[in-house]
Structure formats: C-alpha cells, structure tokens
Structure 1
Amino acid sequence: MFNPDINDYQLTSIITECCGGVAVVYSALYKPTNQNVALKRYFVDKTKEKAALIQQDIMTRKELQHQNILPYLTSFVNGRELYVVSPLMTFGSCRDILDRYFHEGLPELACAIILRDILLALQYLHKQLFIHRSVRASHVLVGADGLSRLSGLRSAASLAVRGRRARLHRLPPPDHDNANLMWLSPELLEQNLRGYDERSDIYSLGVVCCELGNGAVPFAEVATTLMLTEKVRGSTPQLLDCSTFPTFPEPCLPLHDAEMKSMYNTDSGVGDSADGVSRLRHVYATRKLSDSFHHLSEVALHRDPEKRPTATQLLNHAFFKQIRKTDYLPGLIGRVKPIKPDPNDMSALLLQQKMSDMEIKKTTEWDF
C-alpha cells in the first residue's frame, strides 16, 4: 500500500511533460519504503475539461491488474493539483526511446519482445471486454525488469452494455491535437452503423509495428483529412526495408550480423540535416527485415477487421518464435540511458518546498 499523502514523497527529478502540457511526470522517493516511483502531477486549472478522462484512466487502472498494464498505486489531491502514483518505468516510453536513441527503428528482436508484451496486455484487456483505443509507442513504457507495460487507459471503453457484449459506435475522447488519429482503425474513423470492436486495437498494434520498426510515426507528415481518406480507402503504413523502399539506387542485399550490430549500437545522430536524412534512407534501403515481421504488420493492418487475427492468435505468430527466455530487452537497447533520480535536482527541490507550503484540500472535482 502507498499512502495518499504528499509528505511521504520526495521529488527527485523531472522526467517529462505530457498530456498536452497539462501534466508533468516526476521521479520521486516513497519515503516509508525508500522506493523510487513516478508521480504524475496534473494542473487542475488546466484539466477541468479533461477531468472525466483522468478519472477514467484511474478507475480503469484500479479495475485491471496485469503485469503488462501500468499499475495504479494511489492518487491524492494537494492544494489545486492532482497526483497519481505509479511504478517508475526506468527507460521511459518507446516513443522517447525512438526519438532519442533509435531514429531508424529498434532492432527486430527488441520489437518482437515489446510487441509480445503489448499483445499480452491486449489479450487481457479484450478478455475483460475492454478496448484500449489508444495503442501507440508513447503509451508503452519500459521498466528496468525488461517488461513493457501499456498505459494511456483514459481512452479505454467497455464492450459490456447492459450485461451483454456489444460493438461501439462512438469515437474515443479526443487526445490533444488529435494526435491519436494516426493509430486509429478505418472502421473506428468511419463511424458507420457497423461500429467497431476490439480488433480496432489490433489495427493500432499494426501501426505500432511500423512505428517501432521504422522509428517514425506513420502518417505524421500527412494532412489529417488526407490521412483519414487514405485509411478508409485501405492505404496502410509499411515496414521500411529494401523490399518496400525501392527508391535508393543500391542493390537489395541483407546486412551481415556485424553490420547490423554496428548500425544499432552507435549513436543515431540523424537530426534534420540532408546528410542525416540521406543516412536514414540508406539504413532503410539496405536492411532486410524478416518476412514474418512484414506478415505480422500486414495481417494486423488488414482493412477488413473480420480478417484481422485476435491478440491470442497473434501471440502464436511465427514472428515471436525468435524470442528466447534469456533475451533481455534492456540489453538489446543498451545505448538507452535509464532514468536516474537526482535528489539534488533544484527544480524538483523548489517544487517540493512549494508543495509542502500548500494546504492539502480535497476538491469535489476529483472524486475517487
């Protein structure tokens, strides 16, 4: 049990800003057990419109318990701010890992381990008659134990309606800047009479396959209206290698193990320069991803939801046969620097002082 008392937590470092600027995540020390945790601080004045979504996230996490879903530890109100406590995921989100260290995409085995963990979370969610509706790399967090955990449950919805399983017809709550649209399935975006069900999450997983494998967010450079039109017409993202990236003049040859090791264990340093873009194109055009990886993304991204496999079926896909019990995700992404709480972080210390001066007051806006 974790106490819902700000005085039991010592902020140690600022990790990131999130949720469109309405929240900040800190590492903190839970003083009664000397345990490092993550403390998400919501600014209540900025989150009035999103209060229901934040409550949805907390209530869903309370209800669902699985090793691949980010656990809820406790939450409390201090002054005009809400705090939610979770385990500290030492390596951050997969989107952070891609942006900072793997611009060209993760090693294929690392992709397999992460995607397996996401599928285990989705298998559990779907058996509980929940749809996640926001599966993307920024909502997949990697811990020091090598496990990936699914977060972002504020968009989750139950398929159980009046005691019966049903299809949904409404859109998920809008995320900031409609950022979630790039991962949503065509049938969800169409909003037709057929509705959608848990196989919409499988489509999002297919988009995440390309996100992890390529490093880039699919559809990110496409205007929203055009992206929606292309999705509905059946256009899907692809894994980029020599079989799908034909514009580079060099021949389509698989890389040797030594070359792959060199590629994935040096700093990416792509940046926005012409040289950086050229190097990234060279990486895509001269590498060869496995046929099973391509097949996994293709079946998950099938335009017809009835032809998409379930999470359980995908867990038996040949792509995951490469994973051995001894494979350890942090070792495969060795250049990623883990979050190291710094008790001397002045910004965290100043905030801690400010919080200790605030009157603890529970407001009716946050009722858990």
Structure 2
Amino acid sequence: MFNPDINDYQLTSIITECCGGVAVVYSALYKPSNQNVAIKRYFVDKTRENANLIQQDILTRKALQHPNILPYLTSFVHGRELYVVSPLMTFGSCRDILDRYYHEGLPELACAIVLRDVLLALQYLHKQLYIHRSVRASHVLVGANGSVRLSGLRSAASMMVRGRRQKQLHNLPPPDHDNVNLVWLSPELLEQNLKGYDERSDVYSVGVLCCELANGAVPFAELPTTLMFTEKQRGARPQLLDCTTFPEPCLHDGDMKSIYNTDSGVGDSEAPRARQLYGARKFSDTFHHLSDLALQRDPEKRPTASQLLNHSFFKQIRKTDYLPGLISRIKPIKPDPNDMSAMLLQQKLSEMDIEKTTEWDF
C-alpha cells in the first residue's frame, strides 16, 4: 500500500510534460519503503474540462490488474493540484526510446517482445469488455527489468452500457490535446456510422504500432486530419520499411514524406539517406504478414488479439531474450538530486499552509 500523503514522497527529477501541458511526470522516492515511483502532477485549473477523463483513467486502472497494464498505486489532492502515483517505468515510453535512441526503428526481435506484451494486455482488456482506443508507442512503457506495460487508459471504453453488453460502440474517444491519437484509430472507428466498432479496432492500432516501432516514424503524422481520414477510408495503410517495400516503385519521395514524418529521414532532401537506411535491411516475412493482418481495412478480416498472439512471428522469442539488452543504446531514467525544478517544487509543497492532503478516491 502507498500512502496518499505528499509528505511521504520526495520528488527527485522531472521526467516529461504530458497531456498538452496540463500535467508533468516526476520521478520520486516513496520514503516509507525507499522505493522509486512516478508521480503525474495535474494542474487542476487547467484540467477542469478533462477531470472526467482523469477520473476514468484512475477508475479503469483500479478495476484492471494485469502484468502488462500500468497499475494504479494511489492518488491525492494537495493544494490545487492532483497527484497520481504509479510504478516508475525506468526506460520511459517506446516513443521516448525511438525519439532519443532509435530514430530508424527498433530491431525486429525487440519489436516482437513489445508487440507480444501489448497484445497480452489487449487480450486481457478485451476479455474484461474494454476497448483501449489509444494504443500507440507513447502509451507503451518499458521498465528496468524489461517489463512492458500499456498505459493511456483514460480513452478506454467499456462494452458494458447500462448493465448490457454491447456488440459495437459508436462514440469517438475523448479528444486529446491535439487530436494526435486519430493517427492510430481504425477506419471504422473514425467513420462513426451505424455499424460501429468493436475490439478489433484496437488490433488496427497494433498494426500502426508495428510500423511505428519498426520504422521509428509515425505513419500519417504529416497528413492533415481530413486527408489522413480519406486515405484510411480508401484502404491506404503504412508498411514496414525495408528493402522489399522502400521505396515503392510508384511512390514518389514527396508521397513518402506525407505518410511518414520527417524525423525518420524520409522526405525530399533526405530521401537518398532514407533509401540507404531502410533499403539495407530486411524484416522477416512473418513480421510483414502480422502487420498486414492487423491493418486490414475490413474489421471482419482482422484477427483478434488472442489470434494474433498465436502468429508465427512471435515464435522467434526465446525465454532468455532480454528487452533492454536488445536495445542497449537506451539509458534508464536516473533521479537527479540537482534537478532544480523538482527541488523548488518540493520546497514549495513543504511551505504550503494546508491542513492536510486529501485522498482522491472513487
């Protein structure tokens, strides 16, 4: 058990700003057990409109318990700010890892381990009648021991509505700060028609995640929202970039730039470098097949998360494979005792004249 009391936590470093600037994540030391944790600090004045999303995130995480889902430890209000405590995932998110260390994408075996664990989390979620609706690399976290956990549950939706199980849902996920999540959403979810969508919309997002992890770039990221929507509706889908797919004979460099963001090196002036980078490698046929299956335009043709877990792509994983060893460039998040932002905040908290910290429970 973790106490909902700010005095039991020593903030050590700022990790990242998130949620469009309405929250900051810190590493912290839980003093009663000398354990490192992560604390997400929400600025209440900025989060009034999203308070129900934060509540949804906490309620969902409290209801779900699985080794591959980020657990909830406790939460509390101190002053005018909300603090949510989680385990410290030492290597950060897969998006962090790609941006900082693997611009060209992760090795295939590392992708296999991450995707397997994400599918295990989704298999559990779907059995609990939840649809995640926000599967992307920034919501896939890696711990010190190589554990992979799925976060981002504030967008999750239950298939149970007023006590009855629904076969399909029709509502869009709550909008995030810049609509970035739309890139990963399935065509049928974006269509908002009478057919609705089900758990297989998450499988489409896994297909986009395959390309994000393998290529380092976010598919569709540079396209305007309306054009991205149109491209998905007509069946356009990203691919794993290697010597068999890059560049497509009928695809010009400018087209590649529009489908994959410029951070990957794909674009006008960088096309030769990108061609050399991606053209010098080859992913397995099973990886290509897995990605193609998940990205089927017709959800009826898409496998479930459980079916994908039985795909031959995952047979390459051995019990001795260790994720941090496969992506050895990465460096763990280390608490910085000289981080002035954390020190100043801790000092401010200790000086605040507040009667007590209030637990935020539901």
Secondary structure in 1 aligned to 2:10?
A: strand
The 3 A distance-change label for structure 1 pair 13 and 272 is farther
- 1:205-354 to 2 correspondences below 5 Å: 205-246=206-247, 278-354=272-348
Aligned residues: 348
1:99 aligns with 2:131: no
Deviations 1:207-265 (A, max 9, x none): 000000000001011111110011111111111111111369xxxxxxxxxxxxxxxxx
User: SS where residue 177 of structure 1 aligns?
Assistant: coil
1:5 paired residue number: 5
SS in structure 1 opposite 2:179? Answer: helix
Deviation, structure 1 residue 46: 0.6
2:64 corresponds in structure 1 to: 64
- Change beyond 3 A, Cα 1:3–1:365: closer
In the alignment, the residues of structure 1 paired with residue 83 and residue 341 of structure 2 have an alpha-carbon distance, to the nearest angstrom, of 17
Task: Measure the CA separation in 2 of the matches of 1:133 and 1:140.
Answer: 13
Partners of 1:44 and 1:192 in 2: how far apart? 35
Structure 1 residue 357: Cα displacement: 1.7
1:133-172 aligned at under 5 Å gives the runs: 133-166=133-166, 167-172=168-173
**Other structure's SS at 2:121 match:** helix
Distance, in Å, in 2 between the alignment partners of 1:362 and 1:356 is 12
Q: Give the partner amino acid of 1:186.
A: P
Contact 1:185 1:200 in 2 (8 A): yes
Match of 2:30 in 1: 30
Q: Any conservation in 2 of the 1:77–1:361 contact (CA below 8 Å)?
A: no
Amino acid at match of 2:99: D
Shift of 1:49: 0.6
TM-score after normalising by structure 1: 0.91
- In structure 2, the CA distance between the partners of 1:274 and 1:187, relative to structure 1 (3 Å rule), is closer
Matched AA of 2:222: E
| Partner residue in 1 for 2:183 | 182
Summarize the Cα distance change of 1:106–1:55 in structure 2 as closer, same or farther, 3 Å threshold. same
Shift in alpha-carbon separation, 1:365–1:186, aligned structure 2, 3 A: farther
Alpha-carbon distance in 2 for matches of 1:85, 1:196: 32
What amino acid does structure 2 have at the position aligned with 1:189?
Answer: L
**Cα pair 2:75 2:359 within 8 Å, conserved:** no
Structure 1: gaps (5+ residues): 249-268
Which amino acid in 2 is paired with 1:246? P
What secondary structure, in the 3-state scheme, does the structure 2 residue paired with 1:12 have?
A: strand
**Distance in 1 between residues matched to 2:291 and 2:264, nearest whole Å:** 25
Q: Identity over aligned residues, as a percent?
A: 81
Query: How much does 1:356 deviate?
Result: 1.3
Q: How far apart are the structure 2 equivalents of 1:276 and 1:100?
A: 19
Distance 2:21 2:265 in 1: 24
Alpha carbons 2:243, 2:281 under 8 Å: kept: yes
CA distance in structure 2 between the aligned counterparts of 1:60 and 1:315, rounded to whole angstroms: 24
* CA RMSD after TM alignment: 2.0
1:193 alignment partner in structure 2 = 194
Shift of the 274–185 alpha-carbon distance from structure 1 to 2, 3 Å rule, reads closer
- Tell me which amino acid in the other structure corresponds to 1:165: R
Q: Distance in 2 between matches of 1:181 and 1:273?
A: 22
Distance, in Å, in 1 between the alignment partners of 2:150 and 2:355 is 31
1:96-144 per-residue CA deviation (whole Å, 9 max, x = no partner) reads 0001110110000000000000000000000000000000000000001
Summarize deviations over 1:271-322 as a string: whole Å, max 9, x none: 8998866433311122111000000000001011111111111001010000
SS in 2 for 1:67: coil
Q: Is 1:117–1:148's contact at 8 Å kept on the other side of the alignment? A: yes
Q: 1:42 to 1:362 in 2, by over 3 A?
A: farther
Indicate the SS of the match to 1:49.
coil
Distance 1:225 1:270 in 2: 23
Equivalent pair of 1:78/1:359 in contact (CA under 8 Å): no
Q: Does the CA contact (< 8 Å) of 1:118 and 1:149 recur in 2? A: yes
1:339 maps to a residue whose letter is I
Match of 1:20 in 2: 20
Instruction: Report the CA distance between 1:358 and its aligned residue.
Output: 2.1
**Whole-angstrom distance in 2 between the partners of 1:359 and 1:78:** 11
Q: Is the 8 A contact 2:131 2:157 kept in 1?
A: yes
| Contact kept in structure 2, 1:187 and 1:196, CA below 8 Å | yes
* Aligned partners of 2:9 and 2:30 also within 8 Å: yes
Asked if the contact 1:270/1:277 (under 8 Å) is kept, the reply is no
**Contact 2:75 / 2:84 at 8 angstroms: preserved in 1?**
yes
Partner SS, residue 284 of structure 1: helix
